[in-house]
Chains A and B, each alone.
Chain A
Amino acid sequence: MVMISVGVNGVTHETEVEPRLLLVLYLRETLGLTGTNIGCDTSSCGACTVLLNGESVKSCTLLAVQADGADITTIEGLAGPDGTLHPVQEAFRQNHALQCGYCTPGMVMAAVSLLDEEDQLDEDGVREGLEGNLCRCTGYHNIVKAVLSCAAERGMVTGAVS
């Protein structure tokens, strides 16, 4: 067993874990943060995407011990303490960017990382930037619209929003 200290959504957790414990299972089962979903479990679908020190990662392909000392943000950590949605969450809501919702937490976290990383975004950039996240319901159109609307609010959009 290995002692790790991980900041999750601003709270530091000191936990003894088995080295083979995956970060996604640490979040879901050890900490009870079940907002992060497990989809394919093979680092393809992106449902388990969380932020590690601000960058999107697939938590099914990370050991909890690798996150020792890191700051993790999950979908539970995005909204304000009073429940005010994060702008990306609000944009998903406004644009009806989900149907079954299973991919949504990962999709939102990937979008947050993408918006923080890029200086400019057009539709192609959003589609390419979300290539690590699969959605089987929406056909992606409203997801792309939602992310572009966030980019537009931040003054990042270069092309026209279709």
Chain B
Amino acid sequence: MIPASFDYVRAGSVDEAVALLTEHGDAAKLLAGGHSLLPLMKLRLATPGVLIDVGRVADLSYIEARGDEIAIGALARHHDLETSALLKDQVPLLSYTAHQVGDPQVRHRGTLGGTLAHGDPASDLPAAVLALGGTLVAQGPNGSREIAASDFFRGFLETALAPDEMLVEIRVPKVPGAGWSFQKFNRRAQDWAIVGVAAVLNGHAGIALVNMGSTPLRAAGVEEALRGGATVSDAAAAADEGTDPPSDINATSEYRRHLVTVLVRRALEEATR
């Protein structure tokens, strides 16, 4: 399978990438690791006229402590996340979740910024960033702005990023002693999650769901029940509230609705252990 023809340009900096996005508008897509975009292009589900390769932009792969947050450059790869001692120590949910993505070859190429900007509800890391209450930084022609993770995912493969904006940084709170869990239910190694759950308990509960609707979702019903003092199993029973899970070859919508209550219970049990 060979992608449709496109023009290829390389950006040496974020400013250059933004200028190229401004120039080419909707016809352009940013290319980082390419592990979400290239499969779509090979299947001709995406046929961008211009690929702007940001994979060589320097200094965008950092993972560093900044105040009470960890700041991560958009080009940090899943492999960088899963092996980061800082992340393992301060935000273990995120490094563990990175390790659940695909397989080693995929993790050597895929980037955190790429998976977030792709906005696939079946991806693992967007749910982890959502559960953590992360902040995303986008840079456009008029400077940069911060977007709360909860405002970022707008629809299926659709995010709050404007066509001339590039996601440059992801920040998540340090949660060193917090209870956490990531539950991924799939049939085979390296598969996408049929349903996944990211949970972090740090005074308040952040619970987010993989593949339970057109975007990664907060499990608002569970979070509210926990705030009201519900038991783990009572809270977990509310896991499918406000979701709209798909039916596909792996599972029906009803099956996912049941599965998510089981996985949320397991996640809460693990996080409170």
Contact = CB atoms under 8 A, between A and B. Distances in A.
Interface residues of B, number: 27
Contacts of A110: 104-105
A84 B79 CA distance: 32
Contact of B104 (A18, A63, A129): A129
Contacts of B31: 63, 66
If over half of B's interface residues share one DSSP class (helix, strand or loop), that class is named, otherwise mixed; here it is loop
A22 B189 contact: no
A61 interface: yes
B225 to A, nearest CB: 35
A145 interface: no
Q: Chain A interface: which size bin?
A: 20 to 34
A42 B42 contact: yes
Nearest to A129: B104
B35 interface: yes
B109 interface: yes
Interface string A46-90: 100100100111100111011000000000000000000000000
A43 B51 contact: no
B39 interface: yes
Q: Is the interface of A mostly helix, strand, loop or mixed?
A: mixed
B189 A19 contact: no
B103 A46 contact: yes
A136 interface: no
12 contacts: A2-B8, A19-B6, A19-B51, A43-B106, A52-B108, A55-B79, A56-B104, A61-B109, A62-B34, A62-B38, A63-B8, A63-B31
Interface of A: 2, 18-20, 22, 25, 41-44, 46, 49, 52, 55-58, 61-63, 65-66, 110, 113-114, 117, 128-129, 131-133
